[in-house]
Amino acid sequence: MRWRDLPSLSALRAFDATARHGSFAEAGRVLNVTHAAVTQAVRGLEADLGVALVRRAGRTVSLTEAGERLARALDDGFGTVAAGIEALRQAEARRVLRVTTTTFIAETHVMPRLPEFWARHPGVEVALSPSPSRVDIRREGFDMAIRALSDGWTEPPDEEVRPLARIPLLAVCAPSLVADRVPDLQALPWIVGEDSPWDDLQFTTTGIDPARLNRVKVGSPHLEMSACRQGLGAMLATEIICRADLEAGRLVRLPLAGLPVVTYAAVLPLGPRREAVDQFADWLETIF
């Protein structure tokens, strides 16, 4: 299709509205322009095509034979466009909302509260993708990420960051690991991931030497919290992740000073997005 060979879309819309309503004035009201603007657009279309499309009859207009043919073609064409746009909107509305986040925040804080979100927004499907790694949300096709950001974080130019809460990082373990005694924190077994430079940095700021750490590796980040509850080692976790375990007595807080406060945030790619994405981000602000 050669767009430059077609009349202007505004002129076609003016004629289509006139044909549907039989009046320049009524077409103007529908299009939110003056009837003079509609009249001028239709006359310009007739000049462009070199054929009369309408006949004036007092305050109304009737279509010529050529006008009838064009009106039918526009009805089919605009109808196809409208149907295509509605199908696209419906498909986007049904598309699963993809959210990447850490294993712990997904399992302990977001998933247990999802029924509350669905009660407010029925029909919005949400798929959480827990991962210990930070992913490129735009490249990987995610609608948003829930991240823990260290102090000094800066907002990337291609992302919108919505802070949710400031949460302290804690050192925790099962009560059986300390047995009501003041532990030697350097000598304790610590559950640390295979490659965790961030954890090593936090240990360094507290005075614990990461190089002499008694590391317990459980093979999967999905098992670390369970291993900690079972007394296999201590670990670092944000307060929001271990809150329920602390309240229930399954874990206790260790006296490790110097740990930072992190910012949990919803991170969204800039640009156009579905209403459901903002609905989920707004809901996250209510649960943190």
CB-based burial label for 246 (10 Å; 0-12, 13-18, 19+): middle
The DSSP H or E segment spanning 149 is strand 144-149
Listed residues 41, 63, 93: the one ending a domain? 93
pLDDT, position 86: 73
Domain count, the chain: 2
Residue 91 neighbours by CB under 8 Å, 6+ apart: none
Assess whether 120 and 76 both reside in one domain: no
From the list 227, 253, 232, the residue with the least C-alpha distance to 242 is 253
Listed residues 93, 117, 143: the one ending a domain? 93
Band of residue 221 on the pLDDT scale cut at 50, 70, 90 = confident
For residue range 109-168, list pLDDT tens digits in order. 999 999 999 999 998 899 998 877 788 888 888 999 999 888 777 777 888 999 999 999
Is residue 8 over pLDDT 70?
yes
pLDDT, position 229: 94
Q: Give the residue numbers spanning the domain of 236.
A: 97-287
From the list 155, 259, 161, the residue with the least C-alpha distance to 207 is 259
Listed residues 62, 93, 124: the one ending a domain? 93
Assess whether 156 and 176 both reside in one domain: yes
3-state class of 192 per DSSP?
A: coil
pTM, 2 dp = 0.66
Cα 18 to Cα 94: distance, rounded to the nearest angstrom = 36
pLDDT, position 1: 60
CATH of the domain at 23: 1.10.10.10
Angle between helices 65-94 and 9-21 (to 10 degrees): 110
If you ran DSSP here, which 8-state letter would residue 74 be given? Answer: H
Any idea which residue has 């207009």 for tokens? Answer: 61
Cα 16 to Cα 31: distance, rounded to the nearest angstrom = 11
Assess whether 262 and 139 both reside in one domain: yes
Any idea which residue has 């407010």 for tokens? Answer: 120
Q: Are 138 and 91 in contact (CB under 8 A)?
A: no
Cα 129 to Cα 147: distance, rounded to the nearest angstrom = 12
pLDDT, position 94: 66
pLDDT, position 6: 78
CATH of the domain at 189: 3.40.190.290
Assess whether 221 and 283 both reside in one domain: yes
Q: Are 158 and 270 in contact (CB under 8 A)?
A: yes
Q: What is the DSSP string of 127-142?
A: EEEE-SS---TTTTT-
Assess whether 84 and 107 both reside in one domain: no
Residue 30 one-letter amino acid:
V
Assess whether 257 and 127 both reside in one domain: yes
Band of residue 227 on the pLDDT scale cut at 50, 70, 90 = very high
